[in-house]
Amino acid sequence: MENKSKAETFIGFAMRTGKFRIGANAAATLKRAELIIVCSSASENTKKDADKLARKFHCPIIEPVGKTLEEITHRENAKVMAIADRSLSKAILSNSDKDFIARN
């Protein structure tokens, strides 16, 4: 069994409840986002798009450490993810200490 962090479990909950978008363009269609997750393997342009989304939604942005967003979400080519649920976003952030780093 793979070793999943609590933050990854909460990302899974967000996916099961449909309170997420994968991809910068899909994320931009949300009315609001509470958290942006950008993959460390994303291109500089994609990271800039993610930073713009974080500014647009006035929300934090984090980057996984040691795993790609693709591995966490099991979605091919996942580079940017937006979480739309406030309580799940808070749960991800409060459990993201060693598995994610904050981007400014």
Cβ atoms of 40 and 64 closer than 8 Å = yes
**Which CA distances in Å does 26 have to 14, 23, 77, 89?**
15, 5, 14, 18
What average pLDDT is seen over the chain? Answer: 95
Confidence (pLDDT) at 2: 63
1 lies in a domain? no
Q: Pick 1 or 48 by higher pLDDT.
A: 48
| 45: CATH | 3.30.1330.30
44 lies in a domain? yes
Please determine, for residue 61, whether its predicted confidence score (pLDDT) is greater than 90. yes
List the domain range (segments joined by +) for residue 32. 6-103
64 lies in a domain? yes
Give the C-alpha separation, 22 to 38, whole Å: 10
Q: What is the pLDDT of residues 78-90, one digit of tens each?
A: 999 999 999 999 9
Give the C-alpha separation, 46 to 103, whole Å: 14
Q: Which H/E stretch holds residue 70? A: helix 69-73
Confidence (pLDDT) at 20: 98
Give the C-alpha separation, 10 to 42, whole Å: 22
Tell me the whole-structure pTM to 2 decimals: 0.95
Confidence (pLDDT) at 72: 96
**pLDDT band (50, 70, 90) for residue 4:** confident
Domain count, the chain: 1
Interval 65-75 mean pLDDT = 96
Confidence (pLDDT) at 97: 87
